[in-house]
Structure 1
Amino acid sequence: MTEGTLRYTAFTDDPAGGNPAGVLLDAAGLDDAAMLATAAEVGYSETVFVTARDEAERRFAVRYFSPLAEVAFCGHATIALAVALAERIGPGPLTLDTAAGEIPVRTVADGAGRVRATLTSVPTRSRPASEAEVGATLRALGWEAADLDPRLPPHVAFGGNDHLILAAAGRERLADLSYDFDALAEVMRRHNWTTVDLVWRASPVRFHARNPFPVGGVVEDPATGAAAAAFGGYLRALGLAPAAGTPIAIRQGEDMGRPSDLTITLDPGEPRTHVTGTAVPTV
């Protein structure tokens, strides 16, 4: 493995929870093949690579790789990177240049020294999913149309990557996830979706989520910041966004034994999502 690769887990303060990410703070000398090989060796859903840096301006060029391919944007690896940087150069604002666009990140240390990071997504968008998109996905998941919540229609939402959002009618349906890995991966590759964001609404400001990620070689993501950003755009598009600045809690990873807590907030007139979480080293 490339020397200096850090391992953090994001959207948790427990090393046994959250979504692990590899973090390489100096990848300026690595080519695409080397970054992909490193991500594959790390074995997490994503590893983030800092390919250029200006510490005086607190600006960093970054790239994200799953074990199988490059990803334009990854939320949990962004939170992990932001915390790792804040621990080394101090908390404060950061700017990340990604393939998806510029991502501002704010890092703040609490009284106990723990760092909390908030990323601001690129502009989001959301559109109704077609019958063909939904039908093929339901077949791969082994779900029926009756398993969906009619109050939260299927959409394809973007917050740096595209995600199909399907809302389960009940918590039990969300908890029982056993899908055809290859079939779902084929559907997702066809439509260029990064994850399928399966959600259940516990209240207008609290959701449970699961994110199958077969296109990245991973059965399920324990915490998906990019999907949370897209989900904020989805709520805005449906007119379901709460009052400005009201926290929306997303609980993910619970059913796979890696509980994660993501918080999103939305501002009126701004098509972006603020995604907040913590991160800690895994070892």
Structure 2
Amino acid sequence: MDAMTEVLRYSAFTTDPSGGNPAGVVLDAGTLDDAAMTALAARVGYSETAFLTAHDETRRRYRMRFFSPRAEVAFCGHATVATAVALAERDGPGELVFDTAAGEVRVTTSTDGGVPSATLTSVPSRTRPADEDTELAPALAALRWSPDDLDPALPPHVAFAGNDHLVLAAATRARLADLAYDFDALEELMRRHGWTTVHLVHRPDPDRLDFHARDPFPVGGVVEDAATGAAAAAFGGYLRATGRITEASRIRIRQGEDMGRPSELLVDVTPDDTRVRVTGHAVRIPA
């Protein structure tokens, strides 16, 4: 690993460096191999670090890879937002294209209002019901939840918008707030099924598209993610595909509150498009 590699640190889905989800950002990673990127991500210690491994500055197109402290991840929303804001601050706002392992991700950046923001457009989303015996039951056991803890209005699904996420809706805010899961059991289950996070949500008002969320991420070596853009995109696709959204809508997700890093993710869904747009601010974390 090149000791001179510059790692920028941003917090995404917040306007306050002490909130949101921190991400490492390496804008010039063309000389780093997989082992070096994994080691650097482990050294940074955030849930994800993004690496730009190829550049086309004229077209503002970049090859982007994501590494947790343990392994590469196909797509990461908060690190995408952080990287897009870093590029906007360096080169000015506008359109960006990232080629990721999950596919092409287009991002629009803006500096209106002072704090930069980015809107990513996901790859096409899809969702399916979770299998009760092989997926749902062992997930509830690992979480130490019971079936009665679930909200019947939002059935368990495995949703995708770049990565697979198990979506479980808690019936109460108290259930969501009390997260004391079996780390090893959930990690093993997630690895078996290829889930990146478990997206736990609660909807306080059935008449509003406002949600609280928490995302256990043991496969990345992290107990919990403070803001998960990839899961938010998958969840938007889930709401669309299951008929919970039938017109162009904006979903507000509040995440990180229970771990002291409040985050806000804005998710835009339209009925005729399986792609989902996720918007958030990002700010530089002071050295």
Q: Which residue of 1 aligns with 2:268?
A: 265
Q: Which residue of 2 aligns with 1:276?
A: 279
Q: Which residue of 1 aligns with 2:236?
A: 232
Deviation by residue 1:170-199 (Cα, 9 ceiling, x = unmatched): 000000000100000000000000000000
Q: Which residue of 1 aligns with 2:190?
A: 188
CA distance in 1, matches of 2:145, 2:175: 9
Is residue 176 of structure 2 the alignment partner of residue 151 of structure 1? no
Change (3 A) 1:2 1:157: farther
CA distance in 2, matches of 1:93, 1:22: 21
CA distance in 2, matches of 1:231, 1:247: 12
Q: Which residue of 1 aligns with 2:259?
A: 256
Runs of 5+ consecutive residues of structure 2 not aligned to the other structure: none
CA distance in 1, matches of 2:218, 2:130: 20
Q: Cα RMSD (Å) of the superposition?
A: 0.9
Q: Which residue of 2 aligns with 1:122?
A: 123
Q: What is the SS of the residue equivalent to 1:186? A: helix
CA distance in 2, matches of 1:111, 1:28: 33
Q: Which residue of 2 aligns with 1:205?
A: 209
Paired residue type of 2:253:
I
CA distance in 1, matches of 2:41, 2:111: 29
Q: CA shift at 1:264, angstroms?
A: 0.2
CA distance in 2, matches of 1:135, 1:111: 46
Q: CA shift at 1:243, angstroms?
A: 2.6
Q: Which residue of 1 aligns with 2:179?
A: 177
Q: What is the SS of the residue equivalent to 1:247? A: strand
Listed as ranges, the matches of 1:16-55 within 5 Å are 16-55=18-57
TM-score (structure 2 length as normaliser): 0.96
Q: Which residue of 1 aligns with 2:13?
A: 11
Listed as ranges, the matches of 1:40-79 within 5 Å are 40-79=42-81
Q: CA shift at 1:129, angstroms?
A: 0.2
Q: What is the SS of the residue equivalent to 1:63? A: strand
Q: CA shift at 1:3, angstroms?
A: 2.4
Q: CA shift at 1:247, angstroms?
A: 1.7
CA distance in 1, matches of 2:113, 2:138: 49
Q: CA shift at 1:242, angstroms?
A: 5.3
Q: CA shift at 1:118, angstroms?
A: 0.1
Q: CA shift at 1:268, angstroms?
A: 2.5
CA distance in 2, matches of 1:261, 1:111: 16
CA distance in 1, matches of 2:203, 2:157: 15
Instruction: Provide runs of 4+ in structure 1 moved above 6 Å.
Output: none
Of stretches 267-276 and 20-29 in structure 1, the one that deviates more from structure 2 is: 267-276
Deviation by residue 1:220-279 (Cα, 9 ceiling, x = unmatched): 0000000000001110111011531x3210000000000000000012311011000010
Paired residue type of 2:128:
R
Runs of 5+ consecutive residues of structure 1 not aligned to the other structure: none
CA distance in 2, matches of 1:214, 1:116: 28
Asked if the contact 2:269–2:276 (Cα under 8 Å) also holds between the matched residues in 1, the reply is yes
Asked if the contact 1:206–1:250 (Cα under 8 Å) also holds between the matched residues in 2, the reply is yes
Matched residue pairs, number?
281
Q: CA shift at 1:202, angstroms?
A: 2.0
TM-score (structure 1 length as normaliser): 0.98
Is residue 99 of structure 2 the alignment partner of residue 97 of structure 1? yes
CA distance in 2, matches of 1:74, 1:241: 24
Change (3 A) 1:14 1:128: same
Q: What is the SS of the residue equivalent to 2:199? A: strand
Q: What is the SS of the residue equivalent to 2:203? A: strand
Paired residue type of 1:120:
T
Of stretches 82-91 and 264-273 in structure 1, the one that deviates more from structure 2 is: 264-273
Change (3 A) 1:43 1:31: same
- The one of 204, 218, 222 equivalent to 2:222 is 218
Deviation by residue 1:65-101 (Cα, 9 ceiling, x = unmatched): 0000000000000000000000001000000000000
Change (3 A) 1:212 1:88: same
